[in-house]
């Protein structure tokens, strides 16, 4: 276990619990280091929240950390770029990684432990588990990125087994991932409360994402059209479901730097597409995936009776 801040040798010799009391942030790279933290600090009656991330942290992650801090005694942030959830090897290769920067961002945030394992710690042997999420994995991201949610489920269940959190925090930008993880806990019986937190946006409305830093200046500027279009769409009472989807795709595609992969309008909890307004779930979500060059951006808005939620 290595402390993130100065005074390494001093802190190293202190009990981990004392370090925690002093609000030092600790970094665990292995299962042994993590277990030694829990062994020495003891869980007793303290609640533990986990914020799973793939690093390249931004303010969106920090808002999950602060939500976690406010609801738990101990906050653990995991940083692990999970190879099993990338169905495109190129995407895995270019995924931004900067652990030192992440640690700097987290120190002083109230995070107690950064768990930054290597692949062998998460997968001591190949993970061949196949989960069945039913219709949930057959739409949108699940349909376009085969194996993606199975990989997410593998890593999240491993993190839950290793960290044993009481609660875990995920962003609503990845609304389908959130639904999958809720289903995962139901399927596996892992006793973790899943908390969904609102999407944080840049000033121009673009949803915060680690992938934003891979955009060129021009792509970044133009990407703001995605959220603008989604907001405007929620006011278009005069259009039917299919017409609205077409309007959204056409509006975004009219920008030559952006290319829509899908637009879906679905019930906000089951994420199953609706075809008519009448009889559809009261709360709906419009989800989009858009490519800006090689970079894939997703976003969504929740609405009910043509009022943005």
Q: Which is nearer to ligand PAF, 174 or 264 (CB)?
A: 174
Q: CB-wise, 85 or 229, nearer to ligand PAF? A: 85
Closest to ligand PAF by CB, 62 or 244: 62
Q: How far is the CB of 140 from ligand PAF (least distance, A)?
A: 15
Q: Which residues bind ligand PAF (CB under 6 A)?
A: 52-54, 82, 85, 152, 155-156, 174, 177
Pick the closer one to ligand PAF by CB: 16 or 152: 152
Report the distance separating Cα 9 and Cα 13, nearest Å: 6
Cβ of residue 119: shortest distance to ligand PAF, in angstroms?
Answer: 12
Q: Which of 58, 61, 148, 276 is catalytic?
A: 61
At closest approach, how far in Å is the CB of 78 from ligand PAF? 7
Q: How far is the CB of 152 from ligand PAF (least distance, A)?
A: 5
Q: How wide is the angle at C-alpha 144 spanned by C-alphas 245 and 218, nearest 5°?
A: 70
- Is the CB of 57 or the CB of 265 nearer to ligand PAF? 57
Q: At closest approach, how far in Å is the CB of 46 from ligand PAF?
A: 23
Minimum CB separation of residue 272 from ligand PAF in Å reads 22
Residue with tokens 């989960």: 131
CA angle (31, 61, 298) in 5-degree steps: 110
**Closer residue to ligand PAF, CB minimum distance, 11 or 290:** 290
- Is residue 61 among the annotated active site residues? yes
- Measured between alpha carbons, how far is 177 from 183 in angstroms, rounded to an integer? 10
What tokens does 110 get? 């109230």
Catalytic residues: 61
């Amino acid at each position: 276990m290595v402390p993130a801040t100065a005074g390494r040798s001093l802190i190293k010799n202190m009990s981990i619990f004392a370090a925690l009391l002093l609000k030092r942030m600790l970094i665990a790279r292995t299962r042994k280091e993590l277990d030694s933290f829990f062994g020495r600090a003891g869980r007793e009656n303290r609640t533990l929240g986990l914020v799973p991330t793939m690093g390249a942290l931004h303010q969106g992650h920090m808002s999950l950390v602060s939500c976690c801090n406010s609801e738990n005694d101990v906050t653990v942030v995991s940083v692990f770029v999970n190879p099993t959830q990338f169905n495109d090897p190129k995407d895995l290769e270019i995924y931004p990684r900067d652990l030192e920067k992440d640690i700097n961002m987290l120190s002083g945030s109230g995070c107690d432990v950064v768990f930054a394992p290597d692949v062998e710690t998460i997968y001591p042997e190949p993970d061949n588990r196949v989960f069945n999420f039913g219709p949930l994995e057959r739409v949108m991201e699940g349909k376009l990125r085969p194996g993606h949610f199975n990989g997410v489920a593998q890593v999240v269940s491993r993190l839950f087994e290793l960290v044993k959190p009481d609660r875990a925090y995920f962003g609503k930008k990845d609304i389908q991932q959130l639904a999958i993880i809720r289903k995962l806990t139901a399927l596996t019986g892992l006793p973790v409360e899943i908390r969904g937190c609102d999407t944080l946006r840049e000033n121009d409305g673009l949803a915060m994402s680690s992938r934003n830093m891979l955009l060129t200046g021009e792509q970044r500027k133009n990407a703001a059209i995605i959220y603008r279009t989604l907001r405007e769409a929620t006011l278009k009472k005069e259009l039917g479901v299919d017409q609205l989807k077409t309007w959204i795709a056409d509006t975004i595609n009219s920008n030559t730097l952006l290319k829509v992969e899908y637009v879906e309008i679905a019930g906000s909890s089951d994420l199953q597409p609706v075809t008519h307004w009448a009889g559809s779930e009261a709360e709906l979500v419009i989800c989009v995936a858009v490519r800006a060059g090689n970079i894939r951006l997703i976003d969504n808005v929740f609405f009910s009776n043509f009022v943005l939620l």
